[in-house]
Amino acid sequence: MAMDDSARHMMRHAVATLAYRGNKGLGDAPDGFSSFACGGGCRSAGAILSHVGDLLDWALSIAKGKPEWHDTKPRSWGDDVSRFHNALAAFDGYLASDLPLRAPAEKLLQGPIADALTHIGQIAMIRRLAGVPVKGENYFAAEITVGRVGPDQAAPKREFD
């Protein structure tokens, strides 16, 4: 299935947005944060981050036309943060290429990307519960750049206390 340039661009912007928002909650996490959970039946922060990595790997496999799901166990926080950025880079690289996309942009957005955004929000909430909140921000004003999917994100333009 061909995806027009505007759809590819919007998908890449969604991936860059995920990287920006993710970086805020994942960076500077305190020691032991990976095992912090908000209560009975809730995943730990590390399990959520591992799941986000699985979602991004799944998104890439869907885009390639070979959907494959893996349920990966959490590793160290640093390893899973690296996995997050590497998976974003792999998916963004595929979106940036001329290789055909085997799924509609709408499905990629409503499935794995929206789910990953939800879980990044959960990690931000868990940080607040753990006593190390992430500062709020006017995300409309944020400098989010297509292709910037690593930990080297722009500084916030307007954070809230």
Q: Give the pLDDT confidence score for residue 2 in this predicted structure.
A: 46
- The verdict on residue 31 lying in a domain is no
Confidence of residue 40 (pLDDT cuts 50, 70, 90): confident
What integer is the mean pLDDT of 77-98?
97
**CB within 8 A of 53, min separation 6: which ones?**
72, 80, 83, 84, 87
Check residue 145 and give left, alpha or beta (phi > 0: left; psi -120 to 50: alpha): beta
- The verdict on residue 58 lying in a domain is yes
- The verdict on residue 55 lying in a domain is yes
* 66 has a pLDDT exceeding 90: yes
- The verdict on residue 37 lying in a domain is no
What integer is the mean pLDDT of 41-65?
97
Q: Give the pLDDT confidence score for residue 53 in this predicted structure.
A: 98
Q: Give the pLDDT confidence score for residue 161 in this predicted structure.
A: 67
- The verdict on residue 147 lying in a domain is no
Q: Give the pLDDT confidence score for residue 1 in this predicted structure.
A: 42
What integer is the mean pLDDT of 22-42?
91
Give the integer Cα–Cα distance in Å for 33 and 143. Answer: 27
- The verdict on residue 32 lying in a domain is no
Q: What is the mean pLDDT of the chain?
A: 94
CB under 8 Å, gap of 24 or more: what pairs does 37-46 form? 37/126, 38/125, 38/126, 38/129, 44/74, 45/77, 45/123, 45/126, 45/127, 45/130, 46/74, 46/75, 46/77, 46/80
The rounded radius of gyration (Å) of the Cα atoms in the chain is 16
- The verdict on residue 157 lying in a domain is no
Confidence of residue 81 (pLDDT cuts 50, 70, 90): very high
Q: How many domains does the chain have?
A: 1
Residue-number span of the structural domain to which 116 is assigned: 5-23+42-141
pTM, entire model: 0.94
- The verdict on residue 29 lying in a domain is no
